[in-house]
Amino acid sequence: MDSKEARILKILEEDLLRLEDIHACMVARKNLEGIVPISENFKREILDIWDVLQNTMNEFFKIIEHYSKYGLDKVYFELGKYDVMFFILPGSDTALVAIVPALANRGLLEVEMENARRRIIEIIESG
């Protein structure tokens, strides 16, 4: 893992996964390629629906791939008792993704996700 990936992984693990309402997070594109923390760090309750989530997320990455060139910034969907939040990295088919309880405080999580997205963009752009 190169140092950029390690720094992004640190943001995922130390800044986002430490939050009670973030059950899983990753920087990914279609087929969940990207930077994904070890799934043992995810909250246990999502592991039961991980395959369904993965397939649903792949469908949303097709939308992201198509519409990101038009300025698509965020995408949310509810799947059962979970919300999946996609914060798209500008000019790409890649997103910072978090899986949270449907009843979570979305406003607080959006602030944390936006801060993480900005730091990830800085890492990616830092040559």
CA angle 19, 124, 65 (to 5 degrees): 85
Model pLDDT for residues 29-38, shown as the tens digit of each residue: 887 788 888 7
Q: How far is CA 120 from CA 9, 12, 21, 117, in A?
A: 9, 9, 20, 5
CA 8 – CA 17 distance, rounded (Å): 13
Which tokens belong to 24?
């899983």
Which pLDDT score is estimated for 97? 94
Which tokens belong to 59?
């469908």
Ranked by mean pLDDT, the top range of 73-82, 86-95, 113-122 is 113-122
**Three-state SS at 123:** helix
pLDDT band at 5 (very low <50, low <70, confident <90, very high): very high
Q: What pTM was estimated for this model as a whole?
A: 0.90
